[in-house]
């Protein structure tokens, strides 16, 4: 096994730069998730590590060796694709063992390896079937097995679960995590799904327009996003962003904007126009303001447009000051469309960003932040 280090990596197609001076270290045995919207350069990074795309500038170091010019077949890397990429004319057994056969491994050893990996992935009864006879989840397990059987030093996974239905995606997510933990193989996993990133990765690298915005543990990115983009991309439902201005006060500053009035502390005084981010879990809507209790300060008023009940929690879509917002509501409360509510939040649950640069300007966190190291 081996770590992967990207040193000032740039990728350009003609005049278009799709990856800008990327510095990233993936530690030996780590499960690193590359997260970002479509077109942010995630898959291109994966393809450069695999050797399927050349590097315009910088170095890709795999296992301590600069690998820019190393042929893909000599990098000892296995890649799992979104579309499975199985050989349709081969049985499951032949798909699983094909890589070892190509390497000249003895047939009996290939057969033993195929049986072992098939048993571990629940494929033993499917070895004589062809891909067309398998479900999506079964095909994905075959694709994983084909990668694992070679015992590579690095796994690269390009949105491997995106074609599966919601329940199967959750099951396969758990299966991939367990498999990686058992093997301890360095894994780089690409996704645009922040729930996948939050639940699977040891660390997450958030990308936007070819730039690395922040890297850290899932909890760290959620609790202490470095800028408004990361704050908006992490968390579900998405964070509420209120644009407004700060006025000075004794030991604090008062924020006023888009229906929210909130006293802020620990804010960099260099910013006057700011974005205040409050996650729906921390913005609580109650019908009777007297029931605010320990919810924090009352920061605004709103009208309920819709309530989404998710079992153990409920969220209300709100109209306030000509904009929409989302807040948590008590699942047992009789709140419905048209209900007038008061909004409460605790000051320490608020994120503040410079409205121009998007840079974080507050010291607040959603609780105790984890380390990004």
pLDDT in tens, 318-340: 999 889 999 999 988 889 999 99
277 & 332 share domain: yes
Task: Report the pLDDT value the prediction gives residue 273, as an integer from 0 to 100.
Answer: 87
- 113 plus 175 within the same structural domain: yes
Q: Are residues 244 and 224 in the same domain?
A: no
Same domain for 83 and 104, yes or no, is yes
Order of strands across the sheet with 260-264? Answer: 260-264, 252-257, 240-249, 273-278, 351-354
Does residue 365 lie within any of the structural domains? no
Residues 207 and 265 in one domain: no
Domain residue limits at 85? 4-228
Nearest to 212, CA basis, from 233, 193, 198: 233
Q: Report yes or no on 364 lying in a domain.
A: no
Which structure tokens are listed for 11?
Answer: 């990728």
Question: Tell me, what DSSP letter sits at residue 290?
Answer: G
- Tens digits of residue pLDDT in 212-248: 999 999 999 999 999 999 999 998 899 999 999 988 7
pLDDT of residue 366: 57
* pLDDT for residue 250 is more than 90: no
The residues near 105 (Cβ < 8 Å, ≥ 6 apart) are: 113
Residues 223, 254, single domain; the answer is: no
CA distance 231 to 360: 10
Q: What is the pLDDT of residue 357?
A: 92
Count up the domains in the chain and report the number: 2
CA distance 60 to 65: 8
Q: Are residues 196 and 282 in the same domain?
A: no
CATH (domain of 350): 2.40.50.140
Taking the C-alpha atoms of residue 256 and residue 123, their distance in angstroms, rounded to an integer, is: 59
Q: What is the mean pLDDT of the segment spanning 37-52? A: 95
95 lies in the same domain as 185: yes
């Amino acid at each position: 096994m081996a770590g992967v280090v990207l040193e000032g990596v740039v990728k350009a197609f003609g005049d278009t730069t799709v990856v800008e001076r990327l510095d990233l270290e993936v530690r030996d045995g780590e499960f690193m998730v590359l997260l970002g919207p479509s077109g942010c350069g995630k898959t291109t990074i994966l393809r450069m590590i695999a050797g399927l795309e050349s590097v315009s500038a910088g170095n890709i170091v795999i296992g301590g060796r600069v690998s820019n010019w190393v042929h893909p077949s000599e990098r000892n890397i296995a890649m799992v694709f979104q579309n499975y990429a199985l050989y349709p004319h081969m049985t499951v057994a032949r798909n699983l063992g094909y890589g070892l056969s190509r390497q000249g491994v003895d047939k009996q050893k290939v057969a033993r390896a195929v049986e072992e990996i098939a048993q571990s992935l629940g494929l033993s009864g499917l070895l004589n079937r062809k891909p067309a006879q398998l479900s999506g989840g079964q095909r994905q397990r075959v694709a994983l097995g084909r990668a694992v059987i070679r015992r590579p030093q690095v796994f690269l996974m390009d949105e491997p679960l995106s074609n599966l239905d919601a329940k199967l995606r959750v099951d396969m997510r758990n299966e991939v995590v367990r498999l990686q933990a058992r093997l301890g193989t360095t894994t780089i996993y690409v996704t645009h799904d922040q729930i996948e990133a939050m639940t699977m990765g040891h660390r997450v690298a958030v990308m936007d327009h070819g730039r690395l915005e922040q890297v850290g543990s899932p909890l760290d990115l959620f609790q202490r996003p470095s800028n408004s983009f990361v704050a908006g991309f992490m968390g579900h439902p998405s964070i509420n962003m209120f644009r407004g201005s700060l006025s000075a006060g004794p030991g604090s500053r008062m924020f006023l904007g888009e229906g929210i009035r909130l006293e802020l502390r620990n804010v960099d005084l260099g910013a006057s126009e700011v974005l205040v981010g409050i996650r729906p879990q921390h913005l609580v809507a109650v019908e009777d303001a007297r029931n605010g209790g320990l919810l924090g300060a009352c920061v605004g008023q709103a009208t309920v447009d819709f309530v989404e009940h998710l079992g153990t929690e409920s969220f209300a879509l709100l109209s306030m000051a000509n904009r929409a917002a989302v807040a948590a509501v008590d699942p047992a409360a009789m709140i419905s469309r048209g209900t007038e509510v008061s909004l409460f939040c605790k000051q320490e649950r608020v994120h503040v960003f410079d409205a121009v640069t998007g840079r974080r300007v507050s010291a607040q966190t959603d609780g105790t932040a984890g380390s990004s190291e």
